[in-house]
């Protein structure tokens, strides 16, 4: 199956919400997707990608959302079945889907891709999503957070083609969560990322009404503010990653561990990394 044949209704709803649009119900979106022919599905996927990257035309986006509801209303009035489905109800309920096996690599439409948000500012836009770390066969899956940032190129348009991507390592993920929780007083400075070790990310904003994000790669620098409502969305994804990695820990223990992590992060740097006699 092609990627366009596997459009997730949850992803569609998330893309619309991230753009500030109230989406139809998940079932409505699913029925709409089922009604599409292959060429129409490809066109819808292209339109959704434009919305995701912030380069869509508002009128076209509104028309797509309206179409999701109108097409289904027309079906109900006409009594015609959805494309690819029988008009006769099945004799017995469909079998429950089998649990999806865990994988060590991502596929075209992994479930965790629905857990993502876009954050917009006048200078740049950022996409934050749940991701998985690379692992060897047989190793457990470890979740993390990936951030992509793109500079603004016009009003409400962003240069996603030249975005900078940054994935937090297993050791960096707790520092990210502690910083977003406000437990740290020092900025979070991470570097030496990417194949050429030329990527870095800085998060500052202690005691301010916003965070400031700076990402660099090979001399390029993109910066933007992140305000309270978007910090909450980003923090939600970070905490989900931590909870997926350690489901045996309850929330109270996890927060206590983040506070301890922050305390060590804020301690004087003298002697860090050195053993004692």
Look at residue 80 in the predicted model and tell me its pLDDT: 41
Say if residue 226's pLDDT is above 80.
yes
Say if residue 48's pLDDT is above 70.
yes
CA-CA distance, 241 to 170, in Å (whole number)?
10
- Model confidence at 115, pLDDT cuts 50, 70, 90, reads low
Look at residue 266 in the predicted model and tell me its pLDDT: 93
Say if residue 206's pLDDT is above 60.
yes
Q: Average pLDDT, whole number, for the chain? A: 80
Q: Which whole number is the average pLDDT over 194-204?
A: 95
Say if residue 213's pLDDT is above 70.
yes
SS (H, E, C) 161-184: HHCEEEECCCCHHHHHHHHHHCCC
Q: Which whole number is the average pLDDT over 32-52?
A: 86
Q: Which whole number is the average pLDDT over 214-232?
A: 94
Residue 199: beta bridge partners? 193, 217
Q: Which whole number is the average pLDDT over 1-16?
A: 71
Cα angle: 270, vertex 274, 277; to 5 degrees = 115
Phi-psi region for residue 259, left (φ > 0), alpha (ψ -120 to 50) or beta?
A: alpha
Q: Are 106 and 167 in contact (CB under 8 A)?
A: no
Say if residue 76's pLDDT is above 50.
no
Q: How far is CA 85 from the centre of its chain?
A: 32
- Model confidence at 111, pLDDT cuts 50, 70, 90, reads low
- Model confidence at 28, pLDDT cuts 50, 70, 90, reads confident
Burial (CB count <10 Å: 0-12, 13-18, 19+), residue 247: exposed
Report the percent of the chain where pLDDT is more than 90: 46
Q: Return all residues near 132 (Cβ < 8 A) that are at least 6 apart.
A: 106, 110, 112, 141, 142, 143, 144
- Model confidence at 24, pLDDT cuts 50, 70, 90, reads confident
Diameter over CA atoms, the chain: 82
Instruction: Output the pTM of the full model.
Output: 0.61
Q: Which domains does the chain have, with CATH numbers?
A: 3-78 (no CATH), 111-266 (2.30.31.10)
Residue 24's closest CA among 83, 86, 67, 87? Answer: 67
Report the percent of the chain where pLDDT is more than 70: 77
Say if residue 188's pLDDT is above 90.
yes
CA-CA distance, 13 to 20, in Å (whole number)?
11
- Going from the C-alpha of 3 to that of each of 68, 102, 110, 270, 277, the distances in angstroms are 20, 19, 11, 51, 57
Q: Which whole number is the average pLDDT over 132-141?
A: 82
Q: Which whole number is the average pLDDT over 235-264?
A: 94
Q: Which whole number is the average pLDDT over 60-88?
A: 56
């Amino acid at each position: 199956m092609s990627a366009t044949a596997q459009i997730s209704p949850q992803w569609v709803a998330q893309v619309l919400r991230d753009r500030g649009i109230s989406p139809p119900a998940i079932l409505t979106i699913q029925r709409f997707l089922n009604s599409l022919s292959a060429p129409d599905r490809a066109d819808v996927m292209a339109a959704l990608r434009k919305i995701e990257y912030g380069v869509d035309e508002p009128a076209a986006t509104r028309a797509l959302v309206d179409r999701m509801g109108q097409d289904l209303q027309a079906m109900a009035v006409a009594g015609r079945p959805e494309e690819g489905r029988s008009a006769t109800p099945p004799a017995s309920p469909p079998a429950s889907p089998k649990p999806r096996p865990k994988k060590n690599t991502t596929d075209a439409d992994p479930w965790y891709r629905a857990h993502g948000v876009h954050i917009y500012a006048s200078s740049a836009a950022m996409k934050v999503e749940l991701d998985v770390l690379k692992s060897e066969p047989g190793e457990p899956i470890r979740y993390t957070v990936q951030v992509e940032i793109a500079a603004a190129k016009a009003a409400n348009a962003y240069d996603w083609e030249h975005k900078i991507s940054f994935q937090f390592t297993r050791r960096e993920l707790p520092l990210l969560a502690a910083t977003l929780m406000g437990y740290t007083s020092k900025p979070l400075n991470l570097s030496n990322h990417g194949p050429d070790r030329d990527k870095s990310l800085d998060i500052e904003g202690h005691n301010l009404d916003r965070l400031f994000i700076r990402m660099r790669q090979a001399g390029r620098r993109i910066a933007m503010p992140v305000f309270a409502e978007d910090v909450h969305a980003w923090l939600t994804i970070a905490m989900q990653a931590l909870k997926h990695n350690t489901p045996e820990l309850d929330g109270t223990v996890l927060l206590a561990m983040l506070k301890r992590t922050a305390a060590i992060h804020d301690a004087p740097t003298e002697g860090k990394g050195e053993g004692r006699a």
